[in-house]
Structure 1
Amino acid sequence: MKVGCDAKAVEMPGFPKMRVARPSDDLEALLRFYRDGLGLQVLARFDDHDGFDGIILGQPNAPYHLEFTTAHGEVAGRAPTDDNLLVFYLPDQTMWEDAVASMKSAGFDPIPSFNPYWDRVGVTFQDPDGYRVVLQRAEWSR
């Protein structure tokens, strides 16, 4: 299940692109969560780039992607709080149900959100590093 972007999205001139980058101690575990569970695609992968290994995940033509890196000889640790979130807005009921089912079938169980707001019309999952992803059944209205 692809989350967060229609694969046919059109890039707008001057619209900024966003990369969310963070360290991890287990890139393969994150790959199972974000690729196998959320349905993001591996856009790039690198090994020993100035002492870093990494994966970049997203959807083609989306204005965002996620980068996870491991620095050789360093420990990244876990999320600092239970309220570190990525939120994907999925207003279509079927798309939202498919995304939740994909996470569950990949072996990831929903957890209660730290902030109960996210549980009202969404489902929260925790990645292997302790960071959380909310699949929000709502329209992005801002």
Structure 2
Amino acid sequence: MTIQQLRIARPVTDLAESSAMYCSGLGLMPIGEFTDHEGFSGVMLGDETLSWHLEFTQCHHHPVKPVSTAEDLLVLYLPSEADWQQRCLSLARAGFTRVTSFNPYWAENGATFQDKDGYRTVLQHGTWRL
């Protein structure tokens, strides 16, 4: 089985704010959006070079409160030290808050950031190998 694309979908409290934070912080761009589709609006953020993208949604009729735990993580690997440092700075400038990782493993070679809805992103300095 070949999986062509991975979408991570999350409800958010403010589509515009979340989109701006992730575009600015992670260098993503809007790749799709929908408005009031059966009561839902949303935006997809990604990049043509990636095999994954994020989707943020809002339900207009029955608002869903974003819920996340300290172990619900979006983990991104950046092998270059300069790229890792620059992306950490970009996340902070975009409004993410640097937080202490619940699992100390992520602090060894990485940094954990939290957005305004409590979703956490780990920027790991290194590569992932199978």
| TM-score, with length taken from structure 1 | 0.84
Identity %: 43
Superposition deviation, residue 15 in structure 1: 4.9
**Deviations along 1:87-135, whole A, 9 cap, x unmatched?**
0000111111110111122233311111111111101110121110000
Task: Tell me which protein shows more strand as a share of its residues.
Answer: 2
Quote the residue 1:67 is aligned against: 55
Quote the residue 2:112 is aligned against: 124
- RMSD of Structure 2 on Structure 1 (CA): 1.4
- Unpaired runs of 5+ in structure 2? none
- Aligned residue pairs total 129
Quote the residue 2:21 is aligned against: 33
Q: Using the alignment, how far apart are the partners of 2:121 and 2:129 within structure 1?
A: 19
CA contact (8 A) 1:33 1:128 kept: no
Quote the residue 1:103 is aligned against: 91
Q: In the alignment, is residue 52 of structure 1 matched against residue 40 of structure 2?
A: yes
- Unpaired runs of 5+ in structure 1? 1-13
Q: Secondary structure of 1:125's match?
A: strand
Quote the residue 2:127 is aligned against: 139
| TM-score, with length taken from structure 2 | 0.91
Q: Secondary structure of 1:110's match?
A: strand
